[in-house]
Structure 1
Amino acid sequence: YKEGVTILQLVPSYVSGLLDIDSDFDLGGLDYFLVTGEAVHTSLLSKWFSRYPDIPVVNAYGPTEAGDDVSLHFMNEAPSGQNVSIGKPVANMQIYVVDDKDNLCPVGVMGELWVSGIGVGRGYLNDSAKTAKVFRDNPFTNSSSRLYKTGDLGRWLSDGSLEFLGRKDDQVKIRGHRIELGEIESVLSSQSGVNSCCVLAKSDSSGLDRLVGYVVMSGAFDKQFLQDQLNQELPSYMVPLVWVCLEEMPLTVHGKINKKELPDPDMSSLSTASYVAASNEIEEELVRIWQDLLGVEQVGVHDNFFELGG
């Protein structure tokens, strides 16, 4: 306020840390607060509007390759849904939702976001191969405009705005199911006590991919409570069974969550059942088979084959 700042733009992960500090910042001079660089969750917006109800928030979306922010969504209160709209394209920019066969997707259908318009760059300096993969002529117009294939996923909503649904390279396959990690993070972030979160797919010693939930909590960490809450909103195969509770998320110099610095989890706590040892010859033989097949050191008679990675 003292510096006369009227528009402030920050990364959501950094904002979350600021709001957790037990003090009120004097932001009365702000006309708009912009969040960008990462998907913003409704829990963070609720926290913002509870402290600054008169300062509107703009959810800004855009890759560097397309001149940064290419769509904007203005809010005066936290939205009721889990995902926050990224709004509509700004002037002189076009956004397309495209399927795997380069066809335009209808309203409600997920596809890759392609950006065209005055902000699209020429390509990557001294890297023609990488440029050829993601920069191309616009096939949807008669003009000679260029477009950039973002690698982001999204869909058109019925009101003409866009919904961001994560990254194509954040899609993972767990037990044959294709999963969007961002969808899990969106639900997880709305749970009581979760200040910050991240979900990754990590390989165990046998090479199986497992979902790992990383959380920063405002109170005590209760793994069973979080899993029960997620099971009410997500199918069971999308609920992490391995959890890591952190005091704070590692951030990059730009304020984004640094996923490379997240610690490796302890894969020994995969089952939700209490351990009960085998009590007869058949159970002992089954335990040996499961241990060998799943690469798990301890198997109890009440363990779930699929929870352990089967």
Structure 2
Amino acid sequence: MGELYIGGAGVARGYLNRPELTAERFIASAFVEGDRLYRTGDLARYLPDGNLEFLGRNDEQVKIRGFRIEPGEIAARLCEHERVREAVVVARDDRAGDKRLVAYVVAQTTDGSHEADGAELAAALRAHLGGLLPDYMVPAAFVRLEALPLTPNGKLDRKALPAPDDDAYARRVYEAPQGEIETALAAIWAELLGVERVGRHDNFFELGGHSLLAVRLLARLTQALAVELPLATLFAKPTLADLALSVGEVPNGSGAQPAPAILPVGRDGALPLSLCAAASLVLVTVGRRQHELQHPLGWRLRGRLERAAWQRSLDRVFARHEALRNVFVAPQGRPWVEVLPADAGLPVTEHDLSGRPDAETALWICAVTRRARRSTCRAAR
């Protein structure tokens, strides 16, 4: 799979009065000297018979839990199922604020399968994709529609796609949680997964759970029941009833342990690195992969910016969250963490680019970003 480029006499010279977009989309051909190629933004692949199969748009790529995903590829695999006529996959924010994949399918109507229960169809499609794609590409929910919503010009109306309800998840036959542990677990699952009802036979991962949510679940379990459960136990026993049984077996050596008391640590001196911080430092100083730990983000603001209010807002966020004020120090070559005082303030560097052409501004921003990354690496070393 790759991006589709078009060359030849039919390619335009560029976009009218859009030099920055022209530079982005029209590139020199690597095959014909003096020719240019147009980046379509379409993703495709060659079939054995020489035809091209369209797989979606690269501007529809989504990044979920660190994985870059092509929703069009998932939809294509869904359409291979005998019960699916049309499909589209999108990333939606759930009620917990996390992104998750949701598949919208129009079922085949020839054999009456469109009358099947929504949860049963979701289970069948989830099993189908599970045999073709990695786990992180399997949607959390499958919504059955009579037809895909379209705009007046015949394109998919993504804004009209409904939010998934409980039937959109691969659920088991519902049986209410029993006992104090199952009830507490069900409440935590419902909050983390953004579903209204959790039965004792429901599977955490079939309801949309994943490894990051699993870690959050175990942390909440420690807070609610004062029990530490190994992550492997959740993967081995992902149903509510089985997991509750493991929690209840703490005194019997099931792998779970009573949670130790958490004691505060003073902030007056240097602090030892956590395992995560130590790994990050190794990536930067030894692997020189500091760009993987950066999160660039850009905003285009309209109107007048109140710089003083903006700086105060940044300083308050900086003061509120201690993690933002952690810095690495290395006395005698041994790395430690120091916490800057809450009133240290967040330094902001300002550059005035007014009056510059858009294309020149874009090149300048790229150059500054590269210099910032190099300086970050030097500072870490």
Match of 2:189 in 1: 290
Match of 2:162 in 1: 263
Which structure is higher in helix share?
A: 2
Match of 1:245 in 2: 144
Look up the SS of the partner of 1:148 in the other structure. strand
Q: Which amino acid aligns with 2:124?
A: D
Per the TM alignment, residue 269 of structure 1 is displaced from its structure 2 partner at its CA by 4.8
Match of 1:126 among 17, 28, 36: 17
Match of 2:104 in 1: 214
Q: Are 2:172 and 1:279 aligned?
A: no
5 Å-filtered alignment, 1:1-310, equals 110-142=1-33, 144-157=34-47, 160-217=50-107, 218=109, 219=112, 220-222=114-116, 223=118, 224-225=120-121, 227-229=123-125, 231-232=127-128, 233-235=131-133, 236-266=135-165, 269-307=168-206, 308-309=208-209, 310=213
Match of 1:76 in 2: none
Per the TM alignment, residue 204 of structure 1 is displaced from its structure 2 partner at its CA by 0.8
Per the TM alignment, residue 193 of structure 1 is displaced from its structure 2 partner at its CA by 4.8
State the TM-score, normalizing by the size of structure 2.
0.45
Q: Which amino acid aligns with 1:214?
A: Y
Structure-2 separation of matches of 1:128 and 1:227: 49
Q: Which amino acid aligns with 2:76?
A: S
Give the aligned length. Answer: 200
Per the TM alignment, residue 202 of structure 1 is displaced from its structure 2 partner at its CA by 1.5
Gaps of 5+ in 1: 1-109
Look up the SS of the partner of 1:206 in the other structure. coil
Q: Which amino acid aligns with 2:18?
A: D
Per the TM alignment, residue 115 of structure 1 is displaced from its structure 2 partner at its CA by 1.4
Higher RCO (C-alpha 8 Å, min separation 6): 1
Structure-1 separation of matches of 2:74 and 2:8: 32
Match of 2:256 in 1: none
Match of 2:351 in 1: none
The alpha-carbon distance between structure 1 residues 255 and 265, as it changes in their structure 2 partners (threshold 3 A), is: same
Q: For residues 213-252 of structure 1, what are the alpha-carbon distances to aligned partners after superposition, in whole Å with 9 as ceiling and x for unaligned? A: 2233324343324542552353454443423333332223
Structure-2 separation of matches of 1:226 and 1:294: 16
Which structure is higher in strand share?
A: 1
Structure-2 separation of matches of 1:267 and 1:126: 49
Structure-2 separation of matches of 1:124 and 1:200: 29
Structure-2 separation of matches of 1:288 and 1:156: 48
Contact 1:227 1:239 (8 Å CA) reproduced: no
Q: For residues 273-298 of structure 1, what are the alpha-carbon distances to aligned partners after superposition, in whole Å with 9 as ceiling and x for unaligned? A: 23333322332333343344444443
Structure-2 separation of matches of 1:293 and 1:230: 20
CA RMSD of aligned residues (A): 3.0
Per the TM alignment, residue 201 of structure 1 is displaced from its structure 2 partner at its CA by 1.8
Q: Which amino acid aligns with 1:231?
A: A
The alpha-carbon distance between structure 1 residues 298 and 165, as it changes in their structure 2 partners (threshold 3 A), is: same
Structure-1 separation of matches of 2:175 and 2:64: 27
Structure-2 separation of matches of 1:279 and 1:226: 26
Gaps of 5+ in 2: 214-381
Structure-2 separation of matches of 1:152 and 1:158: 19
Q: For residues 33-63 of structure 1, what are the alpha-carbon distances to aligned partners after superposition, in whole Å with 9 as ceiling and x for unaligned? A: xxxxxxxxxxxxxxxxxxxxxxxxxxxxxxx
Contact 1:153 1:164 (8 Å CA) reproduced: yes
Q: For residues 151-207 of structure 1, what are the alpha-carbon distances to aligned partners after superposition, in whole Å with 9 as ceiling and x for unaligned? A: 122234555543433221233344554432222222332434534332222211112
The alpha-carbon distance between structure 1 residues 301 and 289, as it changes in their structure 2 partners (threshold 3 A), is: same
Structure-2 separation of matches of 1:148 and 1:121: 8
Structure-2 separation of matches of 1:294 and 1:265: 12
The alpha-carbon distance between structure 1 residues 268 and 163, as it changes in their structure 2 partners (threshold 3 A), is: closer
The alpha-carbon distance between structure 1 residues 268 and 128, as it changes in their structure 2 partners (threshold 3 A), is: farther
The alpha-carbon distance between structure 1 residues 291 and 197, as it changes in their structure 2 partners (threshold 3 A), is: closer
Look up the SS of the partner of 1:281 in the other structure. helix
Per the TM alignment, residue 118 of structure 1 is displaced from its structure 2 partner at its CA by 0.9
Look up the SS of the partner of 1:284 in the other structure. helix
The alpha-carbon distance between structure 1 residues 288 and 247, as it changes in their structure 2 partners (threshold 3 A), is: closer
Look up the SS of the partner of 2:201 in the other structure. coil
Identity of aligned pairs, percent? 50
Structure-2 separation of matches of 1:203 and 1:193: 27
Per the TM alignment, residue 121 of structure 1 is displaced from its structure 2 partner at its CA by 1.3
Look up the SS of the partner of 1:202 in the other structure. strand
Q: Which amino acid aligns with 2:188?
A: I
State the TM-score, normalizing by the size of structure 1.
0.54
